[in-house]
Amino acid sequence: MHFDPFVIASGLFVGFVVGLTGMGGGALMTPILVLFFHIQPLAAVSSDIVAAMVMKPVGGAVHWRQGTVNRPLVTWLMIGSIPSAFLGVLFLKRFEAGAALQVHIKTALGIALLAVITGLIVRPILNRRHNEARPVVVRRVPTLLIGILGGIVVGLTSVGSGSLIIIMLMMLYPTLPMSQMVGTDLVQAVPLVASAAIGHLLFGDFKLGLTTSILIGSLPGVFIGARFSSRAPDYVIRPSLCVVLLLSGLKLIDVPNRWVVVIMPIAIGLGIVHAVRASRAARRERAYRALVNSGAVIPFPVTSAPEPLPIEQSGGG
């Protein structure tokens, strides 16, 4: 069995990103295998999703122990995603074999990655608009549909268990705490990815050596990333992921190189500007909270009602 050290290094990086952010597994690993290692898309999807079946439970177990999992959400997502993921693999298998099949997979993967980028941009906007803590009421039918759609996409492209589904959850449940969002998504992804992985083992193009190389790097990577996830600033991770996913998505949908050369510097510049502005805002917020905690300033707005002014009694006529 041949182990590729560069695939192992890529698995280490992707595993770290998954442990750090809860997303980016199939959205990063599969394009890396296709673009940089020239693996056929079907083999890349099959091997990556089988590796994810082993990697996902690591992050899910951490959140389950910490209690950051919304179990009713997990239940309805799994009811929709598990059968649809398996059906997605069967649907993929029914395409014509050969070059046409590979083109379909590459196009679907590229579109999925660009959808992921949209969600990464929308996420902070949703968090700013809905930052109040309110009880989360599970909406069964929409949650079930999210599971079905996510399962089909996972079965076809291996993207979705940690990217598309979490984005759709953020739109449906904007008040759900982010820790529960990530924990819920990671736990529901375990049986979802397992279902898709079984389909790819039976009907896909699974490569044992390639999958093992991915796992050698990704397992310690996801563990290290999970350990550091509480310290990772979101304003650094999101722009980095957006740039990587944008590059992968553009290449997979065959955007000409001249356009990529124009788009990428703009995207990198916008990412740097966002990171700098968010970093300054975070520092101001920390400084303000420190002043509030020390009693130097009073938080605004003041919640207590002011004392009523005395009313002068008018003299009787």
* pLDDT, tens only, 237-286: 667 767 777 877 787 787 887 787 888 888 888 878 877 887 788 788 77
CB atoms within 10 A of CB 74: 23
Cis peptide before 256 (omega within 30 of 0): no
Q: Which two tokens stand for residue 314?
A: 């008018």
Q: Which two tokens stand for residue 150?
A: 């996510």
Does residue 303 register a pLDDT over 50?
no
Beta carbons of 265 and 221 less than 8 angstroms apart: no
Q: pLDDT value at position 105?
A: 66
Q: pLDDT value at position 120?
A: 66
Q: pLDDT value at position 76?
A: 93
For tokens 């695939």, what's the residue?
7
Contacts of 251 (CB under 8 A, 6+ apart): 31, 35, 110, 260
For 86-95, 130-139, 164-173, 261-270, which range has the lowest pLDDT when averaged over its residues? 130-139
Q: pLDDT value at position 266?
A: 87
CB-side neighbour CA atoms (13 Å) of 266: 6
Beta carbons of 96 and 259 less than 8 angstroms apart: no
Beta carbons of 163 and 27 less than 8 angstroms apart: yes
Average pLDDT, the chain: 76
Q: Which two tokens stand for residue 127?
A: 């968090």
Q: pLDDT value at position 317?
A: 43
Q: pLDDT value at position 305?
A: 47
**CA 130 to chain CA centroid, nearest Å:** 19
User: Could you tell me which residue, 65 or 311, shows the higher pLDDT?
Assistant: 65
Average pLDDT over residues 165-178: 78
Average pLDDT over residues 109-116: 74
Average pLDDT over residues 132-151: 83
Does residue 7 register a pLDDT over 80?
yes
Closest Cα partner for 192 from 166, 174, 171?
A: 166
In eight-state DSSP terms, residue 67 is T
Q: pLDDT value at position 316?
A: 46
Closest Cα partner for 207 from 21, 40, 13, 85?
A: 40
Beta carbons of 30 and 48 less than 8 angstroms apart: yes
Instruction: Kindly state the percentage of the chain with pLDDT values over 70.
Output: 75
* Most distant CA atoms of the chain, gap in Å: 108
What is the per-residue pLDDT across 21-77, written as a single tens digit (0 to 9) for each?
666 666 678 878 888 888 888 788 888 888 888 888 887 887 788 787 889 999 999
User: Could you tell me which residue, 288 or 123, shows the higher pLDDT?
Assistant: 288
User: Could you tell me which residue, 101 or 149, shows the higher pLDDT?
Assistant: 149
Q: For residue 175, name the pLDDT band (cuts at 50, 70, 90).
A: confident
In eight-state DSSP terms, residue 97 is S
Contacts of 57 (CB under 8 A, 6+ apart): 190
Does residue 144 register a pLDDT over 90?
yes
Q: How far apart are the first and last CA of the chain?
A: 108
**Domain spans of the chain, in order of start:** 5-253, 256-297
- Whole-angstrom CA distances from 260 to 107, 115, 118, 144, 263 are 17, 18, 18, 37, 5
User: Could you tell me which residue, 108 or 191, shows the higher pLDDT?
Assistant: 191
User: Could you tell me which residue, 16 or 275, shows the higher pLDDT?
Assistant: 16
Does residue 140 register a pLDDT over 70?
yes
User: Could you tell me which residue, 96 or 161, shows the higher pLDDT?
Assistant: 161
Highest average pLDDT, of 4-8, 29-33, 141-145, comes from: 141-145
Q: pLDDT value at position 304?
A: 46
